[in-house]
Amino acid sequence: MDLNSIIPDKSDSWIIKGDFLFYRKIHLIPLCTMINGVYYVLLDAKCHKAVLKLTKKLMKMDAEFYFTTPLIANPKGVDDFNLKVVDTYIHNYANKHFFCGFRELDFDLIHNMVKWTEKENCFDLVKDIYDKYQKIVNQEHYDYYANRSFYDYDEEIRESFRGLYRDIQISKIL
């Protein structure tokens, strides 16, 4: 298994350089790497459609894969890698494009995150990051000119976030 086998379509937008599979969208965006036989897809919202295509291909291949932060491609490195990855999972769970896209693919992003945290022994980071995003997602703003309140996130995402930590705990048990 190599990076050539996971290219989702025949377009020339997919390029392999070094250890990364790149997607061309104006410039090259790293999307996937393989470490010890496990695929790591960079969860980058700039090219959500390409990430969803790649996820669909990996699901069909029944390959072991996890998502990671786009900062993994930074040559400088990442200070607290596990914290950044969990933050990326939960942050992008609230992203409308990923939320709807993974639902259409019938892919459980949270279960994937829990499997990764168990593998890396960093499940204790999840609660603090979840609490941070729970406040952000459910934050209500008031527009004084229109005399109404509004939210930054859709109702469906807010409702899903209310029971998300319970789903995380259930996924850890199972």
Q: Is the pLDDT of residue 126 over 90?
A: yes
**Which of 43, 70, 97 marks a domain boundary?**
70
What does pTM read for this prediction? 0.89
Q: Could you give the CA distance from residue 16 to residue 99 in angstroms, rounded to a whole number?
A: 28
**Domain carrying residue 119:** 79-174
Half-sphere exposure of 141 (CA within 13 A, CB side): 9
Mark 151-170 as b/e (b = at least 16 C-beta within 10 Å): eebeeebbebbeebeeebee
- Write out pLDDT tens, residues 67-113: 999 888 877 777 888 999 999 999 999 999 999 999 999 999 999 99
Burial class (CB in 10 A: 0-12, 13-18, 19+), 2: exposed
**Residue 1, pLDDT score:** 60
pLDDT in tens, 13-44: 899 988 899 999 889 999 999 988 899 999 98
Q: Are 116 and 167 members of one domain?
A: yes
SS3 107: coil
CA distance 159 to 63: 31
Final residue before a domain boundary, out of 15, 50, 70: 70
Using pLDDT thresholds of 50, 70 and 90, give the confidence band for residue 48.
very high
Q: Within this chain, do residues 46 and 98 fall inside the same structural domain, yes or no?
A: no
Region 133-147: mean pLDDT is 88
The domain boundary, picked from 70, 93, 121, lies at 70
Query: For the residues 125-147, what does the mean pLDDT come to?
Result: 90
Res. 118: pLDDT tops 80 = yes
